[in-house]
Amino acid sequence: MTSPKQGFGDHHNDDAGASSAASLLRINLGAVAENYQILKSRLSEIACAAVVKADAYGLGVAQVAPILAAEGCSTFFVATIDEGIALRRCLAPEAIEIAVLNGVLAGTEEAFHEHRLMPVVNDLGQIARWHAMCERTGIALQAMLHVDTGMNRLGLSPSELDWLAQNPQAMVRPTWRCLISHLASADDPDNPSNAEQLARFRIARSRLPRMPASLSNSGGVFLGPDYHFDLARPGIALYGGHPCGGGFRAGPPNPMRQTVQVLGRILQIRDVEPGMAVGYGGDHRISGKGRVATVAAGYADGYLRSSGGQAHVYLGHTRLPVIGRVSMDLITVDVTSVSEGEARPGAFVEILGDQVTPDNAGQAAGTISYEFLTRLGNRYHRRYVHNG
Ligand SMILES: *Cc1c(COP(=O)(O)O)cnc(C)c1O
């Protein structure tokens, strides 16, 4: 599904002379900022954190996080302590809190404290570890507590929750910033597991000492106020992904703006005749007289092999099929339907953008927007723009 809002404009080729780069990755920080405000508007007065793990889903945390902070975001989630340390270098102010989802591993307590990071503790052992750290330092250090409500990935199991509910003294030392849980199917509003997890989360909450609560990822924000509690934790929607599994099923159009545009340069155009084979293995056979463009994008750019023969790119507003296999650094595109003046060496095709969203590209490759974005790689010439 294509977002109705066009963030990058129609002129794909206005950068053509500006760079010798084979291909361009443009990241629109203005669209990230707008997505944050769209999410906030769905949350009324509820606080909105930002999940910036995996280098802000591939967009670049050093550029993205300060933009979000400027929009008023003061709570950030990363996956690992190393991501937390790197983020703290970008966001020094005391008012900015950084939570580490993977929890506090043995021997990392000092680093958490030194870099002012907050662990999201996932089991009783981690609670004991953080408790001991608070006793050693004499400080009621902050932490979040993760309870599992049915996803079976991270968080206290039901039996650990039982134990903790009966032994609240095990958690007296830290300052409990938030109780969190994670929804397994928030991108599917009709899935009954959402309501089941909500019910379990409410029960867990009622059994533990009072603290703020957080349940919703991107999809959860759109499940309605019952799911909002005190803090939301969107990730993919900030970066333009459809919060409700966009593209995979009929549903409302994606409310988020596209933040990423990938333009691949045409390197060569060739005339082809029926029966000719294109690319490795000769998988694709030409069925009629036409033209094929070879475009600079491949594995090292995160262009997945499974896109071959499945994906589309755009030249201007014309949708063109990617034919044959992805071959290392190159893809081949059938450009028969566009004029020779348009499809020429040096011109750019849109590989990702307003017309080929990460949801579209992910679906064509048999994956999802998350994987497509986080694999974009470092070879594209990266340019940050700020279009409101
Ligand atoms: C990754 C993650 C999120 C963000 O999820 P999105 O689907 O990208 O919005 C929120 N909470 C937790 C615990 C996560 O691991």
58 C-alpha to ligand 1 centroid (Å): 14
Torsion-angle region of 152 (φ positive above 0: left; ψ -120 to 50: alpha; else: beta): left
One-letter amino acid for residue 242 of the chain: H
Looking from the CA of residue 180, the nearest atom of ligand 1 is: 13
Looking from the CA of residue 234, the nearest atom of ligand 1 is: 9
Tell me if residue 326 falls in helix, strand or coil: strand
Give the active site residue among 5, 36, 40, 53: 53
Is residue 239 annotated as part of the catalytic site, yes or no? Answer: no
Which residue out of 38, 43, 51 has the highest number of ligand 1 atoms within 8 Å of its CB and is therefore the one to mutate? 51
Tell me if residue 56 falls in helix, strand or coil: helix
Q: Which residues of 288-323 are buried (b: 16+ CB within 10 A; e: fewer)?
A: eebbbbbbbbbeebbbbeebbeebbbbbbebebbbb
The first and second tokens of residue 388, run together, are 């409101």
pTM over 0.85: yes
Is residue 57 annotated as part of the catalytic site, yes or no? Answer: no
111 C-alpha to ligand 1 centroid (Å): 24
Ligand 1 contact, 101 CB (< 6 A): yes
pLDDT tens sequence for the chain (388 residues): 334 444 565 545 554 444 566 799 999 999 999 999 999 999 999 999 999 999 999 999 999 999 999 999 999 999 999 999 999 999 999 999 999 999 999 999 999 999 999 999 999 999 999 999 999 999 999 999 999 999 999 999 999 999 999 999 999 999 999 999 999 999 999 999 999 999 999 999 999 999 999 999 999 999 999 999 999 999 999 999 999 874 456 678 999 999 999 999 999 999 999 999 999 999 999 999 999 999 999 999 999 999 999 999 999 999 999 999 999 999 999 999 999 999 999 999 999 999 999 999 999 999 999 999 999 988 899 999 999 7
Which residue out of 57, 153, 182 has the highest number of ligand 1 atoms within 8 Å of its CB and is therefore the one to mutate? 182
**What is the C-alpha separation between 378 and 324, in angstroms, rounded?**
25
Q: Tokens 């503790």 label which residue?
A: 121
| CA-closest residue to ligand 1 atom 10 | 217
How far is C-alpha 328 from the geometric centre of its chain's CA atoms?
25
**What is the C-alpha separation between 176 and 143, in angstroms, rounded?**
5
Looking from the CA of residue 154, the nearest atom of ligand 1 is: 13
